[in-house]
Amino acid sequence: MSSLEQAPDGLLARRAADGDGVAFGVLVRRHAPFWRAFALRLLRSGSDAEDCVQEALIAAWEQLPKLQDPDKVRGWITTIVSRKATDRIRSRRFTDDIDDLEVPARDMGPERAAVQRSQLDALGDVLAALPEEQRTIWLLREVAGESYDEIAAHLGVPADTVRGRLARARKTVIDRMKDWR
């Protein structure tokens, strides 16, 4: 085990930003299971989740020198994963192969399935319009099921900040989705 295995995320991020691939590899091994699970919950496809995380890691590697707070690297990369997943969800609307679409439950007719798909598309649009901080917190809480304290630790903000941003995000989602109730 290298001495980097025990290093804090901030130190690893600073070293990776300077081109240290080993430090970046430690970060990836440490947090990739979380990012994959997060992407899987958003995309509901293992292969899409893997691709999304890979794209996010490539983008993160290229953008690491611009990261302003290396101690928040996990939350920063989680945000990149969220954006990549959102991009995939948006692109699906027009390019899904019929074989890749989920089959509606037996008791759900075509009309109900179409309404449900439209509702999910509308939710995707609402989430995409949220400020980045609110969207990330909403996804971490509502999709990934993380606690306020876990989200606060990941993003490096106080739990009260998480609660406030989540409350604003929920209010926006509820207001904009009221026609779907």
Closest by CA position to 130, among listed 74, 63, 82, 78: 82
Let me know whether 110 and 79 are in one domain: no
Last residue in a domain, options 54, 69, 101: 101
pLDDT at 173: 87
Let me know whether 4 and 47 are in one domain: yes
Instruction: Compute and round to an integer the Cα radius of gyration of the chain.
Output: 18
Let me know whether 15 and 83 are in one domain: yes
Q: How far are the Cα atoms of 5, 80, 96, 173 from residue 90, in angstroms, in the given order?
A: 37, 15, 10, 18
Let me know whether 111 and 34 are in one domain: no
Let me know whether 42 and 131 are in one domain: no
Q: Mean pLDDT, the chain, as a whole number?
A: 84
pLDDT at 181: 66
Residues 6+ apart with CB under 8 A from 107: none
Q: pTM for the whole thing?
A: 0.59
pLDDT at 13: 96
Please say if the pLDDT value at position 105 is more than 70: no
Let me know whether 158 and 173 are in one domain: yes
Let me know whether 30 and 95 are in one domain: yes
Higher-confidence residue: 41 or 100? 41
Let me know whether 84 and 149 are in one domain: no
Let me know whether 1 and 83 are in one domain: yes
* pLDDT tens for each residue of 158-167: 999 999 999 9
Let me know whether 96 and 109 are in one domain: no
CA distance 96 to 92: 5
* pLDDT tens for each residue of 148-158: 988 888 788 89
Q: What is the CATH number of the domain that holds 34?
A: 1.10.1740.10
Let me know whether 180 and 151 are in one domain: yes
Please say if the pLDDT value at position 131 is more than 50: yes
pLDDT at 73: 93
Please say if the pLDDT value at position 39 is more than 80: yes
DSSP the chain: --GGGGS-HHHHHHHHHTT-HHHHHHHHHHHHHHHHHHHHHHH--HHHHHHHHHHHHHHHHHHGGG-S-GGGHHHHHHHHHHHHHHHHHHHHHHH--GGGSPPPPTT--HHHHHHHHHHHHHHHHHHHHS-HHHHHHHIIIIIS---HHHHHHHHTS-HHHHHHHHHHHHHHHHHHTGGG-
Give how many domains the chain has, as a whole number. Answer: 2
Let me know whether 60 and 77 are in one domain: yes
Last residue in a domain, options 74, 101, 128: 101
Last residue in a domain, options 80, 101, 122: 101
* pLDDT tens for each residue of 169-178: 999 988 888 8
Range of 92's domain? 1-101
